[in-house]
Structure 1
Amino acid sequence: MKLLTSRWLVLVAALVLGVTFWFRPKGIDGPRPAPVSMDGRDFDHTGLTAVLQQVVGDDGRIDYGALRQHPEALDRYLGQLRALSPKSAPHRFRSNEARLAYYINAYNAFILAVVRDHCPVEDVNTIYPFGGLFWRVSFLLGEEPHTLSELESQLIGDVKGGDPAVRFAVVKGANGFPALPRTAYSEEDVRARLDALSQQVARDPRFIKREGDAIVASQLFEWYLAEFGGDLVGWLKRVAPALAEGATSVQYTPFDWRLNGRCGG
């Protein structure tokens, strides 16, 4: 009996160690950055804009192959994120808008980097099993590690001001999201662009459309329905009233997790 008990203890210990290893965040960092001035200037996102203009096609598809062939610009921007963050240099992020733009841009840059580094990819959920890309992989912001899940739910959540359009702006490498813009978000334009993004999504039949008396919407709305006031029709009455008029029910379509670009090229 003692022998059996000992074996069970060893088995349980091995299982605990295995689970601990699996859930331990794995780091994917940018390179060690060059020295960054701490003179109080705003954080510069032009490096990400250069990347987006390089790889976002006219059709909104991402050329991850180009990122693999020419990784330097994205790596420099990752270095900036690693060096400075709203927590490590708060004097450079004095408004919620500055912090929100930083975190949205960081999220999108990290997705670009991890897909680039794991090409060929057909579905971002296959990079790590069980959606591990979002909660298992850590990235550095101001030398502090964060997972994508933490970045979206905590850091962005703290500064988004209740705006559900943020869910459209953080693009998780999948067809089911709007296309990445070709210009990084900034303190000056982030709120206006989120408002415009809400209008764009509400008028795009890929995300939401009318079929008889029903609103047919992407599963994205179902996942975050609470952020849309718990009432999708009510939200539509504010952003696209003609679409919402007379609607009596809502149906959701499966989310498209296929990659929003190509790895070749």
Structure 2
Amino acid sequence: MKIIIKLIAILFFSQTIQSCSLLSAAGLSSQGQPVKEVTEDLSSSVTALVDHSQWDALLKKHVDKNGLVDYKGFLKDRSQLDSYLKMLSENVPTEAWSVQELLAYYINAYNAYTVDLILDNYPLKSIKDINGAWTKAIVPIGDKTLSLGGIENGILRKMNEPRIHFAINCASFSCPDLLNEAFTADKIDAQLDKVTRSFINGPKNEISINSLKLSKIFDWYKKDYVINGENDVIGYVNAYLYKKIKINPNATITYFEYDWDLNEQK
């Protein structure tokens, strides 16, 4: 009996150590960047402080209507991308920025640095071939350097706006499409609504009244999808459906296997 208890204790301890190691390596830190929660409608008018037009032009040129990316084309315009990334680094967010400005800045930074990371390692089959893709500090903002995981988990997920999951792109086929325009403070609410509806109603989810086969994004981040103060993936999906159906709250949910192949134009 004592042996069994010891074995259970050892297994529990090893799992705890493993979990802590994963957390410490997960790039969750915001590095002291300002984080504001979305507490009201984002559609209120704001004046944009940061000019994302360089990134907007690159996206319009190198991302097609299906969200697939011409990485070879991006390589030819690397100097323009570098110029945009330098501008981001020099425009350090502050507490004075609106929540709309912060959302646009960090979403664009995540997506632009993901493209930059792919270009640094191109050609490749998958972002998962890159060691530490989400944990290495590769995003300089002022005198701090963040990881992609830090932007996603340390900043964006803490802003109480689950639509960010459909705006950031991890350079893979199963990711939400990379929007072929830059996010901006003055349009952020409409843009987040657009990408959320597009993803939920697109081919990466299969939805009927009594069963759902969803992207793994809804599994990995299920605690982020809140309706009326409670975690409710089905309620969240219902809110963005184009179809005139209402999913049964007791519908069965399964998930697609995630395709990590590079989201490259063929």
- TM-score w.r.t. length of structure 1: 0.75
1:120-146: CA deviation from partner (whole Å, max 9, x where unpaired): 111101111xxx110124220123100
Q: 1:197 matched to which residue of 2? A: 195
Deviation of 1:84 (Å) = 1.5
The unaligned stretches of length 5 or more in structure 1 are 1-18, 26-39
More helix by share: 1
Aligned to 2:78: 71
Equivalent-residue separation in structure 1 for 2:260 and 2:122 (angstroms): 15
What amino acid maps onto 1:51 in structure 2?
Answer: L
Conserved in 1, the CA contact under 8 Å of 2:197 and 2:240? Answer: yes
With 74-83 and 238-247 compared, the bigger mean Cα shift is at 238-247
CA distance in 2, matches of 1:97, 1:165: 13
Map of 2:114 onto structure 1: 111
Distance 1:212 1:189, change over 3 A: closer
How many aligned positions are there?
218
The answer to whether structure 1 residue 254 and structure 2 residue 260 are counterparts is no
- 1:236 to 1:45, Cα distance in 2 relative to 1, 3 A: same
Once the two structures are superposed, what CA deviation does each residue of 1:102-134 show, in whole Å capped at 9, x if it has no partner?
Answer: 000000000010101100111101111xxx110
The residue that corresponds to 1:13 in the other structure is none
Q: Could you tell me whether the CA contact under 8 Å between 1:138 and 1:148 is conserved in 2?
A: yes
Q: What are the equivalent positions in structure 2 for 1:128-207 lying under 5 Å apart?
A: 128=131, 132-158=132-158, 160=159, 162-206=160-204
Task: Note closer, same or farther for the CA distance 1:139–1:215 as it changes in structure 2 (3 Å cut).
Answer: same
Contact residue 111 and residue 169 of structure 2 kept, 8 A: yes
- C-alpha distance in 1 between matches for 2:115 and 2:133: 12
Q: 1:243 Cα deviation (Å)?
A: 4.7
2:212 to 210, 215, 232: 215
In 2, are the aligned partners of 1:236 and 1:243 still within 8 Å (CA)? no
Kindly provide the amino acid, as one letter, of the partner of residue 215 in structure 1.
Answer: L
Of the two, which has the highest radius of gyration?
Answer: 1
Residue 181 of structure 1: how far off its partner (Å):
1.5
> How far is 1:192 from its partner?
1.7
Q: Do the aligned residues in 2 keep the contact of 1:236 with 1:244 (CA within 8 Å)?
A: no
Tell me, yes or no, if structure 1 residue 120 matches structure 2 residue 123.
yes
Q: Select which of 219, 223, 229 maps to 1:226.
A: 223
Distance 1:151 1:71 in 2: 22
CA contact (8 A) 1:164 1:227 kept: yes
Q: Rate the CA distance shift 1:238–1:70 in 2: closer, same or farther, 3 A.
A: closer
Give the equivalent residue in structure 2 for 1:80: 87
1:245 alignment partner, one of 218, 232, 247: 247
Give the CA deviation at 1:211: 5.6
Give the one of 55, 61, 79 matched to 1:48. 55
**Contact in 1 for aligned 2:162/2:224 (Cα 8 Å):** yes
Over the residues paired in the alignment, what is the CA RMSD in angstroms?
A: 2.4
Structure 2 CA distance for aligned equivalents of residues 137 and 125 of structure 1: 16
Normalising by structure 2, report the TM-score. Answer: 0.75
Report if the CA contact (8 A) 2:48-2:101 is conserved: no
Q: Which runs of 4+ in 1 moved over 6 A?
A: none
Give 1:242 deviation, angstroms.
3.8
Structure 1 CA distance for aligned equivalents of residues 145 and 101 of structure 2: 20
Contact 2:218–2:233 (CA under 8 A) maintained in structure 1: yes
CA distance in 1, matches of 2:64, 2:264: 9
Q: 2:136, 2:179 → 1: CA distance?
A: 26
Q: Report Cα offsets for 1:153-188 as digits up to 9, x if no partner.
A: 122234x3x221101111011111122122101111
Cα distance, 1:41 vs structure 2: 7.8
Is 1:57 paired with 2:64? yes
Contact 1:50 1:73 in 2 (8 A): no
